[in-house]
Amino acid sequence: MTRLNRRLFLAGTAAASVMPILPAGAQTAGMVTRTVSGSGATLPAVGLGSWITFNVGNDPVLLDECAAVMEAFFQAGGRVIDSSPMYGSSQGTIGYGLEKLGRSDVFSADKVWTPLGAEGREQVAESRSLWGVPNFSLLQVHNLVSWEDHLPMLFQMKEEGALSHVGITTSHGRRHEDFARIMERHPLDFVQFTYNPVDREAESRLLPLAAERGMVAVINRPFQQGQLTRRLEGEPLPGFAAELEAETWAQLILKFILSHPAATLPIPATTIPEHAAENIAAASGPMPDDAMREEIAAAIANI
């Protein structure tokens, strides 16, 4: 076996699978996908976040710029878009983009975020009208806020057929103990937390637990809100990046995340259409093995 063969996994191994059908115009051949165990839904393994980037109010120029990001994302084969009622006007921006692009195949991942349990359903209805979707593909309890009230409500919505998947979120290592306990006790489809080559706390408990429980691990802040990509900007890529067909640090980071044995699904946010396409492209081509993952982390730590 050559060094390359030994050290690289082709996309399509471990928790990943390969997209069965290639939609017209999409460049998804060989793209890492995630299959949700409960529903069998298959999704491209890189999604799109909307925190800050899509909170543009009613400015028509900025709304069109966001729609262009969404267009590049869809054209590259992306489907999962994540938002929350907490993100200002982001939900409305996504709704604007979906309507402008005429896309109904989005995997709509939104959240419930209200301290008042009784307001959950109302908030979901409002979010749905902002997105302009008949039902959400996924609803997550944002940062575990009033999860005791919202989780039963979401499971009930799922039972009624008004929702496809249920999840919970946290970020930056917050409340991992509570988070793990909820993962152990509830049949969640998705869980969302922070993970990247610098913030690796999730490796100790949440990622193995997600793998064990068959939950898709949506990964927020893959670039530390852009701090990581900014820090690495202009720095030469390590030699092994070429072996992974990673052309940028962003792709190397995403490949690090995607190659974890759990079914990870990073959702980087961006304001730049080229970045959206570049991020999706990271889900294709060779993936690093354990040793190379450590090399990626070490290379980043040394800069």
Measured from the CB atom, is 12 or 88 closer to other proteins? 88
The least distance separating ligand NAP from the CB of residue 2, rounded to whole angstroms, comes to 29
- Name the residue nearer to other proteins (CB basis): 200 or 213: 200
Nearer to ligand NAP, 111 or 158 (CB): 111
Q: Which residues contact 222 (CB under 8 A, 6 or more apart)?
A: 195, 196, 253, 254, 257, 266, 267, 268
Site for ligand NAP in 3-42 (CB under 6 A): none
Q: Report in angstroms how near the CB of residue 52 gets to other proteins at its nearest.
A: 6
Report the nearest approach of ligand NAP to the CB of residue 225 (Å). Answer: 4
- Judged on CB neighbours under 10 Å (0-12, 13-18, 19+), 67 is buried
15 binds, options other proteins, ligand NAP, none, Cβ within 5 to 8 A by partner type: none
For ligand NAP, which residue of 132, 226, 231, 289 counts as binding (CB under 6 A)?
A: 226
Kindly tell me which of 170 and 248 has the beta carbon lying closer to other proteins: 170
User: Near ligand NAP by CB under 6 A, which window of 1-9, 150-158, 220-228, 234-242?
Assistant: 220-228
Token pair of 296, please? 């990626």
Q: Is 51 in the site for ligand NAP (CB under 6 A)?
A: yes
Q: Say if residues 38 and 284 touch (Cβ distance below 8 Å).
A: no
Choose the contact partner of 165 out of other proteins, ligand NAP, none; CB within 5 to 8 A by kind. none
Residue of 156, 228, 142 lying closest to 190 (CA atoms):
142
Task: Give the binding site for other proteins (CB under 8 A).
Answer: 51-53, 55-59, 61-62, 86-89, 92, 172-175, 271
CA 72, distance to chain mean position in Å, is 16
Partner that binds at residue 88, options other proteins, ligand NAP, none, CB closer than 5 to 8 Å by kind: other proteins
- Return the number of the residue (7 or 228) whose C-beta is nearest ligand NAP: 228
**Residue nearest ligand NAP by beta-carbon distance:** 49
Residue 10 or 272 with smaller CB distance to other proteins: 272
Binding residues vs ligand NAP (CB under 6 A): 49-51, 53, 82, 142-143, 169-171, 192, 220-226, 229, 250, 267-272, 275, 278-279
